[in-house]
Amino acid sequence: MTSHQPQASHHISAPASPAAVACPVCSIETVPHDVVDFSKNCEEARQRFLPLAGWPIYYHRCPDCGFVLAPEFRQWSDQDFQQHIYNERYAEIDPDALSKRPAANADLLRQLFGGSHKEIRHLDYGGHGALSGALAEQGWDSAAYQPVPHDPQRLADLGKFNLISAFEVFQRAPDVNQLMQNLAALMEDECMVLFSTLLTDGTVKPNTRLTWWYAAPRNGHVSLYSRQSLTLLAEQHHLQFGSFNNGLHCLFNQLPAWAARLLTPKQT
């Protein structure tokens, strides 16, 4: 009668449960949401799959604010990121990063603010120079800054800006509070930060697997934000948060006049 009951095995042992991880935004305990292979990358949206790496990456979700993080990357050094993510093969899983995306984003900034560019001191946070170079060619005061490796002196030497762009940067931050502190330190009293990252709202939900293409450890997408988590982060750093759409957002202290025009409903 016992022949169909599973036998206790001496060959396997129960693995450890995922460790408890506090939400870096609202401090309550997150729930382990899913585990994916390290090779999961954004190009899977275009049917490009890498061989499995055999390296499980856990993503946790905050049940309160909706922030999603892969806690493992908080232990990584800058060198670890260089070796495993931003290495010589990175372009294969982010082919638009080198020129297509910077060119499109330079166009966007020109469309939004081109008429006011003489009043703008611009920093492309996380940019490697293509975007700021394209703007500088057209007479903008524009610089680029790479936040890795973290260097407080280099950050302080940059000065302050009234327009900061951070395209596809937020989801790469293993420490979101460090990111917010860095940005706040670079902001003039009247400054807008324009940034892109896709929101988890409506996509990463309880009782669903993490199939979303944007949750991609191979691309360094280690922090995924909900609207609520960005609102809370802004408040904690004495900033205001707004969204233009699901992918394009802004933070500001006081809006410069040329930016206020963008956010104020047009008079009819």
The letter for the amino acid at 24 is P
Sign of CA dihedral 55, 24, 210, 79: negative
Shortest reach from residue 28's CB to Zn ion, in Å: 6
Binding flag, residue 26, Zn ion (CB under 5 A): yes
Binding part of the chain for Zn ion, among 65-73, 134-142, 164-172, 237-245 by CB under 5 A, reads 65-73
Candidates 21, 25, 36, 173: give the one binding Zn ion (CB under 5 A): 25
Count of residues that bind Zn ion according to CB under 5 A: 7
Return d(Cα 141, Cα 252) in angstroms, integer.
Answer: 20
Candidates 36, 62, 70, 191: give the one binding Zn ion (CB under 5 A): 62
Binding flag, residue 23, Zn ion (CB under 5 A): yes
Return d(Cα 54, Cα 47) in angstroms, integer.
Answer: 20
Closest CA to 186 of 130, 124, 137, 247: 124
Binding flag, residue 230, Zn ion (CB under 5 A): no
112: Cα within 13 Å, side-chain hemisphere: 22
Binding part of the chain for Zn ion, among 18-26, 44-52, 155-163, 213-221 by CB under 5 A, reads 18-26
Shortest reach from residue 69's CB to Zn ion, in Å: 9
Six token digits for residue 11: 């060959």
Return d(Cα 87, Cα 30) in angstroms, integer.
Answer: 30
Binding part of the chain for Zn ion, among 21-29, 87-95, 107-115, 198-206 by CB under 5 A, reads 21-29
Binding flag, residue 68, Zn ion (CB under 5 A): no
Number of H helices, E strands in the chain: 8, 10
Binding flag, residue 69, Zn ion (CB under 5 A): no
- Give the footprint of Zn ion on this chain (CB under 5 A): 23, 25-26, 62, 64-65, 67
